[in-house]
């Protein structure tokens, strides 16, 4: 039996760390998948409980030198990151304080700064040694620990480069300092690298501090979702209102929400009237009317009236909880592009070390023969200028910000890969009912044969349709309930996907289906009924025939209004160069009427749910990358076979798990917005990769040629990863329709 768990992982300093954890954990028997994100500092692991335990996985991660613990409360991560930032701030402050005299002393090496007074004490090598020791071995201790753990596990990461460069600078200077005891000239005649070591550590800490701050900004979207959750609810029990913990509330309990209070859990209103702001879930700014029978959702805000509702879902199962889980999964997962960076990172550090040794050799033997000081300076510069961090952050930070921006508009990407794949598709297949149309049809026409009274007919039809989830069935059921006060229970009721429903009532067999069902089963439709069917269909209405005991008994015509946003959305898709095809189970006449009014030229009508999947496979064979957009009810097969499946709906009506992407609102424009966010995110990732590669391609040769000082290299390396995160944050400003 497999289960998936999330871990908070500490001690990662670059992408190589994340890759090393993944490799080590993947070797554990029973682990099927593992994904570690440097940007979120979280890992997701799926494993067989019969072969290994979560504790074994945590121990393995700890054994290779990283901290790991299960995440019981994801909202705690924000507090942990703030604590981490405070720790970095103190380390940076102390390191800067100790580095300042060394930086002051450094100006003595430059003639153009000769006018600046430098205290003699600052030039004393013993004083510099005393300042550098705590920077190198106390503040810099995590770098040594990380490097040792990496080498112990036969890998190399950024810590290895930092330790090699700073240790080379420190120990060479340390050697010269003690060597000066034997020299008659005690006025510091030789060049030391103490300030180089201190500068590198200080600048790296600065980079990590800025990186931590900017990373927090990338998680703003998920933090806002956490803030929507409430810890208490007002329970109505025995005529009293009692404030209790949300965790103590069970489905069936009665909860009271006062004006301007947050809805604590999902439920159905049993008393009261109010307007509720659901923008935090759906992205729609207009408040929604709520009264008896309507559903309310955790995290939404009650604006004026007092509402009493019955809880339908416990805390961990609310729509808000599902949204948070999906956003977290998307941010913890890897986009396909990330694997490119992972491959490069695996060999990055060993290559840099090799280049540094070549640089040292070239300077010591060719460019400035015998000058150990110059050769060592160039080696240190090469080691420190290279930065795999930017490569490691290129993809995950963009995915975090992009998916977070989408979530603010009610667009949920289940995995990071769909955020990347969506923008690469060339065709959109769209279901009609509930997607392009409102999915809330109403009965417009009713015809009953003379052998039945209208009430008797509606009683039989209503009883069989009462349990239907299909929009047409709901429309019929609503009309029947308005006319009749009581409906008997039907027996052996079963749905016929793509056709209708059937069952038994009062010993009579009742079949309510579209004309195709009866033609398929060779059941004759009277001429006068066929004429009416044709008339209704020409008007763009969906027609359902009722057969009672295998005899034609009546016609119910239903009309479904087209969404006002559908035409605009289709126009936007065309402007983006995307082909659009409409798929529907309705007849050709209705399909043509709807398609023409929206502006869709290509459509397929009279198809069953499983046939939609076959059509998508045909389109894929033609070379198209296909997005399927459906309501998540009858479109599951098509959503599954499509390159990307998008389930669209509202609130609890949407099957959140049925698609790769979920649109929480019924606005089809959100599909186009999702594609725009995807394309912008892909562009952003490419920009990050380009910058990361160009940085290393340009800066490493400059360091090899001796055109950069070590302290400049440390500063540049520190800011290279920060720049990637800052570029990713631009996605927060993506304009949504």
Judging by beta carbons within 10 Å of its beta carbon (0-12, 13-18, 19+), is residue 505 exposed, middle or buried?
buried
Q: Are the CB atoms for 330 and 415 separated by under 8 Å?
A: yes
Pairing of strands 295-296, 267-272: antiparallel
If you search the block for the tokens 């599909």, which residue do you land on?
671
Sheet holding 491-496, edge to edge: 442-448, 551-559, 542-548, 508-513, 500-505, 491-496
d(CA 403, CA 40) in angstroms, rounded, equals: 13
- Is 431 a known active-site residue? yes
d(CA 119, CA 130) in angstroms, rounded, equals: 16
- For 697, the enclosing helix (H) or strand (E) is helix 669-704
Q: How big is the chain by its Cα radius of gyration, in Å?
A: 33
| Percent of the chain as helix, strand, coil, to the nearest 5 | 55, 20, 25
**How far apart, in Å, are the Cα atoms of 205 and each of 139, 149, 290?**
9, 20, 52
d(CA 566, CA 436) in angstroms, rounded, equals: 6
Q: Within 13 Å, how many C-alpha atoms sit on residue 525's CB side?
A: 21
d(CA 127, CA 602) in angstroms, rounded, equals: 80
3-state SS assignment for residue 554: strand
Q: CB 305: neighbour CB atoms within 10 A?
A: 15
Q: Which positions ≥6 away from 504 have C-beta within 8 Å? A: 490, 491, 492, 510
Q: CB 485: neighbour CB atoms within 10 A?
A: 5
Rounded to 5 degrees, φ, ψ at 379 are -60, -45
Write out the DSSP string of 458-514: HHHHHHHHTT--SHHHHHHHHHHHHH-S--PPPEEEEEETTTEEEEEETTEEEEEE-
688, 693, 695, 698: CA torsion to nearest 10 = -150
d(CA 309, CA 255) in angstroms, rounded, equals: 5
Crossing angle of helices 669-704 and 710-729, rounded to 10°:
170
Given the residues 431, 635, 660, 673, the one annotated as active site: 431
- Residue 543, strand partner residues: 557
184, 187, 193, 199: CA torsion to nearest 10 = 160
Q: Are the CB atoms for 423 and 688 separated by under 8 Å?
A: no
Indicate the DSSP class of residue 426. Answer: -
d(CA 615, CA 594) in angstroms, rounded, equals: 20
Q: Which of the residues are catalytic?
A: 431
């Amino acid at each position: 039996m497999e289960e998936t768990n999330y871990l908070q992982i500490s001690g990662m300093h670059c992408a190589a760390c994340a890759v090393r954890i993944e490799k080590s954990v993947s070797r554990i028997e029973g682990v099927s998948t593992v994904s570690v994100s440097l940007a979120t500092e979280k890992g997701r692991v799926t494993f067989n409980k019969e072969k290994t335990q979560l504790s074994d996985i945590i121990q393995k991660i700890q054994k290779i030198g990283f901290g790991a613990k299960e995440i019981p409360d994801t909202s705690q991560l924000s507090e942990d990151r703030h604590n981490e930032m405070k720790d970095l701030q103190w380390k940076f402050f102390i390191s800067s304080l100790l580095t300042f005299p060394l930086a002051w002393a450094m100006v003595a090496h430059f003639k153009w700064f000769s006018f600046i007074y430098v205290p003699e004490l600052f030039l004393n090598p013993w004083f510099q040694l005393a300042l550098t020791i705590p920077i190198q071995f106390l503040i810099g201790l995590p770098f040594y620990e990380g490097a040792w753990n990496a080498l112990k596990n036969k890998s190399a990461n950024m810590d290895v480069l930092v330790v090699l460069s700073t240790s080379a600078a420190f120990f060479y200077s340390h050697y010269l300092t003690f060597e000066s005891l034997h020299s008659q000239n005690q006025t510091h005649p030789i060049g030391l690298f103490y300030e180089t070591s201190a500068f590198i550590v200080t600048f790296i800490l600065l980079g990590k501090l800025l990186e931590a701050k900017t990373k927090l900004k990338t998680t703003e979207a998920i933090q806002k979702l956490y803030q929507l959750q409430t810890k208490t609810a007002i329970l109505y029990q025995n005529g009293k209102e009692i404030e209790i913990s949300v965790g103590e509330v069970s489905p069936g309990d009665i909860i009271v929400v006062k004006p301007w209070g947050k809805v604590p859990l999902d439920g159905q209103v049993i008393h009261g009237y109010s307007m509720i702001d659901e923008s935090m879930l759906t992205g729609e700014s207009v408040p929604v009317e709520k009264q008896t029978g309507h559903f309310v959702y955790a995290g939404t805000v009650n604006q004026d009236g007092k509402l009493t509702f019955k809880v339908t879902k416990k805390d961990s199962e609310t729509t808000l909880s599902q949204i948070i889980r999906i956003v977290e999964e998307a941010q913890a997962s890897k986009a396909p592009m990330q694997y490119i960076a992972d491959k490069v990172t695996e060999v990055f550090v060993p290559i840099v070390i090799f280049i540094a040794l070549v640089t040292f050799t070239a300077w010591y033997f060719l460019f400035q023969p015998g000058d150990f000081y110059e050769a060592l300076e160039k080696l240190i510069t090469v080691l420190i200028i290279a930065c795999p961090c930017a490569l490691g952050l290129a993809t995950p930070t963009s995915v975090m910000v992009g998916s977070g921006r989408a979530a603010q508009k009610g667009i949920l990407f289940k995995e990071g890969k769909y955020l990347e794949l969506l923008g690469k598709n060339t065709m959109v297949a769209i279901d009609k009912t509930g997607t392009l149309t409102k999915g809330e049809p109403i009965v417009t026409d009713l015809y009953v044969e003379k052998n039945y009274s209208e009430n008797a007919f509606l009683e039989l039809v209503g009883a069989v349709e009462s349990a239907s989830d299909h929009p047409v069935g709901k429309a019929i059921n609503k009309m029947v309930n308005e006319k009749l006060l009581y409906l008997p229970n039907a027996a052996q009721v079963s749905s016929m996907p793509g056709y209708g429903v059937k069952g038994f009532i009062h010993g009579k067999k009742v079949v309510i289906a579209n004309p195709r069902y009866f033609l398929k089963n060779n059941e004759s439709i009277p001429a006068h009924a066929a004429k009416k069917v044709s008339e209704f269909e020409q008007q763009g209405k969906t027609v359902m025939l009722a057969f009672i005991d295998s005899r034609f008994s009546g016609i119910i015509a239903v009309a479904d209004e087209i969404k006002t946003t559908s035409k605009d959305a289709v126009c936007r898709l065309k402007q983006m160069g995307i082909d659009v095809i409409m798929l529907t189970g309705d007849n050709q006449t209705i399909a043509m009427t709807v398609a023409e009014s929206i502006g869709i030229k290509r459509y397929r009508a009279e198809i069953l749910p499983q046939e939609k999947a076959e059509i998508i496979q045909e389109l894929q064979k033609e070379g198209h990358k296909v997005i399927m957009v459906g309501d998540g009810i009858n479109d599951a097969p098509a959503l599954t076979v499509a390159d990307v499946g998008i389930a669209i709906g509202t609130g609890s009506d949407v099957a959140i798990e049925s698609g790769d992407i979920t649109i929480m609102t019924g606005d089809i424009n959100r599909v186009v917005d999702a594609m725009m966010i995807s394309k912008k995110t892909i562009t952003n990732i490419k920009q990050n990769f380009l910058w990361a590669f160009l940085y290393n391609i340009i800066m490493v040769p400059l360091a090899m040629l001796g055109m950069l000082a070590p302290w400049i290299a440390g500063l540049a390396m520190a800011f290279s990863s920060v720049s990637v995160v800052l570029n990713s944050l631009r996605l927060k400003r993506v304009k949504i329709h």
